[in-house]
Structure 1
Amino acid sequence: MDEVDGNISVASLSVRLQSGTLDPLELAKASLKKIAGYRDQSIFTALLEERALTEAKASAERIRSGRSLGLLDGIPVAWKDLFDTKGSVTTAGSAVLGDHAPAETDATVVKALAGAGMVSIGRTNLSEFAFSGLGINPHYGTAHNAASRDVPRIPGGSSAGSGVAVAAGLVPVAIGTDTGGSIRIPAAFNGIVGYKATRGRYSMQGVFPLAKSLDSLGPLCRTVQDAVWIDAAMRGRSAPDIGRADLASLKLVIPETVVFDDAEPGVVAAFEAAISRLEKAGARITRRAFPIFAEIFEVMARHGALVTAEAYVLHKERLQGPEAERMDQRVVARARLGEKIGMVDYVAILDTRERLIASLAKNLQPGELLAHPTLPHVAPPIAPLLADDELFFRINGRTLRNTSIGNFLDGCGVSIPCGTGDAGMPVGFLLSGQRNEDDYLLSAAVSAEAVIRGEA
């Protein structure tokens, strides 16, 4: 951002803004200028320039007069194009919604961050209707992974633009949604932090859904501390209320079921190096089989996927009408699989889900968190996936595998960069907690982040 390092954290920006050494209006202008001049114009579906400058000017006046709204006043933020922002069309990454009426009001969480003084810069691109873990979009273009230095690589989805916007230094934070990994996947692929909250921690009012039994929200940002600050504001808190856990008391369980299957050697090596650093720092590490992880995929094979069933119901009329011809045909094919999932199957999936959530609670001791690679591979090149539908679906399934476990079990998770794998691409370290263990998860992640990254 011109005079501001684009890789600076929310916390570091806040110090400059609150001290008066950085003006919110100049920061917003610099962010908009950098986005306009960036080599990849597929990251945003729309900029909110008029809104951003108005909000930034108001922030500058508040800070100058000693009326700051708090730590986040003047901080730029981008929104995945699923969140309603007043006066803008929510496209959900689809051409079929592009001519719909603009939103009449902000989504609840957009209002919450505006209330904390944050400046809404723009709306970020995504997989159409958020229904892919790869981030490819034939309508608005596919954002290129910001960490790639050889060939264009996928950004990860579905919060593709959100991940790239932060990793490229265009904004310090972007808000995404996560139904099967859509925050943690782009965070891991692009080498940033992504926090998926427990479903229901924030209001979904004004957020275009995919599968309401699985949909959750959260920030993509540069540090876990940033995520803690954003989390507080999204919950309507005036200040963060999560402390730092004692690293020496941290108990991590590494699952030995599913999550390492077909993992690239470089991914495993980066993860295990981070585990070794955590052990040396005093964290207690155990390895344990989790048959329930395998059972999740067995129930999907038997009855179908929960996300597919609910996505089909949501888009049924669209899929059966002329609009389907204007959609990404890979999204159409995947969504139509939901037609085969009957009520008996759907109820069986939900019953199994609750049983497995209860089983996980019995298999984990108080204070234990799960730790494993966010993804089994680094971000692959885009071109082969565009050319081969079979490869697309196979890589999409593998990409979603590890993270979707947390959604099915209704938990929370934070992906933290832990090193690099093939082609020097980022590898993510996923810390996960059970349902509503968000406060403890975040406190543990704040404490462990520097060690996981290899910075302490």
Structure 2
Amino acid sequence: MQSVRDHLEIILSRLAARADDERVFTRLHAEAARAAADASDARKRVGVTLGPLDGTIVSIKDLFDVAGEATMAGSLMLKTAAPAPRDAAIVSRLRQAGAVIIGKTNMTEFAFTAIGDNMHHGTPGNAMEASRIPGGSSSGAGVSVGEGTSEISIGSDTGGSVRIPASLNGVVGFKPTARRVPLAGAFPLSATLDSIGPLARTVARCAVADAVMAGEAPTTPAPISLGGLRVGIPRGALFADTEAEVAAAFECCLGKVERSGARLADISIDDLLADLRAATKRGSIAAMEGAEVHADWLATGASVPVDPHVSGPLSRAAMLPAPVYIRALRRRAALAAAMEDRLASVDVLALPTTPVMAPTIVSMAEDAALRDRTEGLLLRNTQVANQFDLCAISLPMPGMTLPAGLMLVARNGHDHHLLRIAAEVERLLGS
């Protein structure tokens, strides 16, 4: 059986071979990872384990603090920031569980935007086809798991930033109920909407990483029968403009789920979506809270270049008066309660994670209107879980020319139930 150290060295040599054009990772922790791998191998030799994450190669998004180094959050502005005094809470928990943290992955600047491009560190090419976008904001995380340079990657998800790259790179991505996983030591975008979640090849790996980060005992999700499971299909606004191949793959997945005994029913949530859209018409909660995070440089001007796709929306949001923000938050709380009631009749919602597959990097750079439209589509379905305070997971749909995900969404706090359902759906789709 291959040692953890040998597995790590294979990955490090792959990364060394492309070091001159590295876009997936922004920083490698090679020596610390070697020490952690050796410690895991030593434990294994004497029959000791720290749990199911022991010896797993894990990468973390470039917005999590690692003691002794500046946290850059995909920006050059923070290159000279003071080094983090301690590891982020989730980094500390991952280390204690025996994870081998190999390095930090690339991301869109300040975790804003869903395309996955970064003008400072380069754009990581999609794991399936390098000429295509990775999806963001956890771009390097999706590519790293997709290409096998980490077994688990930890991202953040404010409007879909874990599930969008998972969908486009053909891996699993889990967004837990917000605040289950501590945000301490994670560079913020939106205190209200930020969640920390894993990307991996399997639901089981995501579940283990999620449990460790949430401070729970890590266990593989127990199988659950889909017989009698109530699956709501929110047809309407969230299904418009879906690419034909994505729609066909989704219906094929639904057919398998229904044949396994689940009860499918259309459920309408378009009124709640429209109400939230109206409540955040002048500015999204993420942009308004992000504008507060970045208020100082937005007021004085940035000392180094900032991606205009990031600085533009933040600047506009910074001009909005406080009542607009407070009213949006209050309306969101009421609508989240209404969504909780609406979803009481189902175990999960099912819909495409992204209605489109990954377009080319070049097309996004050359056509501003196409970029805006694509970004809107990439965020449209995933952001529902953040806006209404739900949990959600994206699973790869089989048989596609380019990847896209099947998203399952459950009510606030129903994370474990969702993971059990997802594990069974994953098994079903793979059979």
Scaled by the length of structure 2, what TM-score is found? 0.96
State the distance in 1 between where 2:318 and 2:140 align: 30
TM superposition shift of 1:103: 1.8
1:105 maps to 2:86: yes
When structure 1 is superposed on structure 2, of 73-82 and 100-109 the one drifting more is 100-109
Asked whether the equivalents of residues 181 and 400 of structure 1 are also in contact (C-alpha less than 8 Å), the reply is: yes
Question: Partner of 2:83: helix, strand, or coil?
Answer: coil
Q: Which of 50, 63, 75 is the matching residue for 1:69? A: 50
Alignment of 1:4-403 (within 5 A): 21-38=1-18, 41-148=22-129, 152-240=131-219, 242-290=221-269, 291-301=271-281, 303-323=282-302, 325-365=304-344, 367-403=346-382
Question: Which residue in the other structure is 2:405 paired with?
Answer: 428
When structure 1 is superposed on structure 2, of 58-67 and 323-332 the one drifting more is 323-332
Which letter maps to 1:225? A
Which letter maps to 1:37? A
RMSD over aligned CA atoms reads 1.6
Question: Partner of 1:376: helix, strand, or coil?
Answer: coil
Structure 1, gaps ≥5 residues long: 1-20
State the distance in 1 between where 2:224 and 2:132 align: 36
TM superposition shift of 1:38: 4.7
Q: Alpha-carbon deviations, 1:401-444, whole Å to 9, x = none?
A: 111111000111000011355xx111100000111111111111
TM superposition shift of 1:274: 0.3
1:440 maps to 2:420: no
Asked whether the equivalents of residues 257 and 294 of structure 1 are also in contact (C-alpha less than 8 Å), the reply is: no
Asked whether the equivalents of residues 324 and 332 of structure 1 are also in contact (C-alpha less than 8 Å), the reply is: no
Asked whether the equivalents of residues 291 and 318 of structure 2 are also in contact (C-alpha less than 8 Å), the reply is: yes
Asked whether the equivalents of residues 248 and 281 of structure 1 are also in contact (C-alpha less than 8 Å), the reply is: yes
Aligned length: 429
Question: Which residue in the other structure is 1:10 paired with?
Answer: none
Which letter maps to 1:34? R
Asked whether the equivalents of residues 113 and 309 of structure 2 are also in contact (C-alpha less than 8 Å), the reply is: no
State the distance in 2 between where 1:155 and 1:282 align: 35
Asked whether the equivalents of residues 25 and 56 of structure 1 are also in contact (C-alpha less than 8 Å), the reply is: yes
When structure 1 is superposed on structure 2, of 381-390 and 232-241 the one drifting more is 232-241
State the distance in 1 between where 2:151 and 2:386 align: 26
State the distance in 2 between where 1:97 and 1:318 align: 12
Asked whether the equivalents of residues 420 and 427 of structure 1 are also in contact (C-alpha less than 8 Å), the reply is: no
Which letter maps to 1:107? A
Which letter maps to 1:29? E
